[in-house]
A and B are shown apart, each in its own frame.
Chain A
Amino acid sequence: MNWQTVLLIVHGLLAVALLGAITHQAASVLLPAKRPAGSFVGRFRAVPGPSYVNAIVVLYLVTAVLGGILYTEYRMGVRTVVEQLGMWPAHGAFELKEHLAAVGLGLLPAYWYYWRFTGEPRTRAALTAFLAVIVWWNFLVGHVLNNIRGFGV
């Protein structure tokens, strides 16, 4: 197993953690549960959103940095194949993934600020939902591209 494959697995595991954290937080802020929650779905929505903020920021940054390192491998070894196979929607989806990741990076200070310091519930909810959509898109597209051509094959 080469280092790119190891890094890809770590990148994927961190993305899973980020996906879980941001989805929990988005559910808690968009569909807050009546406490005490009894059902599984109710408990999923009843998590204390503020306690996830720092973890989400750190996970987003670390996942993005690892993705940035792996991006060179994608550009050299994967994108060429995707282009040769004429899989243009997959190619476009990955291009959008890199743009979404970048725009999400720019939102992190505001996301952190509006969770930590002020009473702007609508802004907080919108930023959280926005980041959740970005994380879901990037996770699914990364998964699909890895299925098309994983590293180390």
Chain B
Amino acid sequence: MKPAFAIVFAVAFAIAYVASVVNNYALFTYHPAIGEFGLGVQKGKDGPAMYWYGWLATSGIVASLAGVFAALLPESATRRLWPGLTWSVALVAIAVLAYDLRQFFLK
């Protein structure tokens, strides 16, 4: 594994996950009441709709593509990538997600 893949995957996953949650970019929807999957974002059928799996799929695909692209670049182009981006972007992502959930803690 190249360091560029590790760094870019972590950064892209965190950003794509936040974007997926905030804008509901779920690749698919799961309907637990009837045990069915549906492509894209769908309303619940006979119960709630679950998007978390779809957010993970969206983020995983985006991060994999970004990581592979970064790994294919010449080393001179990725040498200056700061490894600290991995955890610092993830930290910001969690701060955004926690802020998005603030209503639960303020009720």
Contact = CB atoms under 8 A, between A and B. Distances in A.
Interface of A: 68, 71-72, 75-76, 86, 88-89, 91-93, 95-96, 98-100, 102-103, 105-107, 109-110, 112-114, 117-118, 120, 122-123, 126-127, 130
B38 interface: no
Nearest to B82: A123
Interface of B: 1, 3, 5-7, 9-10, 13-14, 17, 21, 30, 32-33, 47-48, 50, 52-53, 55-56, 59-60, 63, 67, 83-84, 86-87, 90-91, 93-94, 97-98, 101, 103-105, 107
A113 B17 contact: no
Contacts of A110: 6-7, 9-10, 83, 86
Nearest to B21: A99
Given A72-B30, A88-B105, A98-B52, A103 B17 contact: yes
Given A88-B107, A107-B86, 8 more contacts: A72-B50, A75-B32, A92-B101, A102-B17, A105-B60, A110-B9, A112-B6, A117-B1
Given A76-B32, A113-B1, A126-B84, A107 B90 contact: yes
Given A88-B107, A92-B101, A118-B3, A106 B9 contact: yes
Contacts of A72: 30, 32, 50
B101 A95 contact: yes
5 contacts: A88-B105, A103-B97, A105-B13, A106-B14, A117-B3
A124 B42 CA distance: 40
A128 B87 CA distance: 10
A130 B32 contact: no
Contacts of B97: 96, 99, 103
Nearest to B17: A102
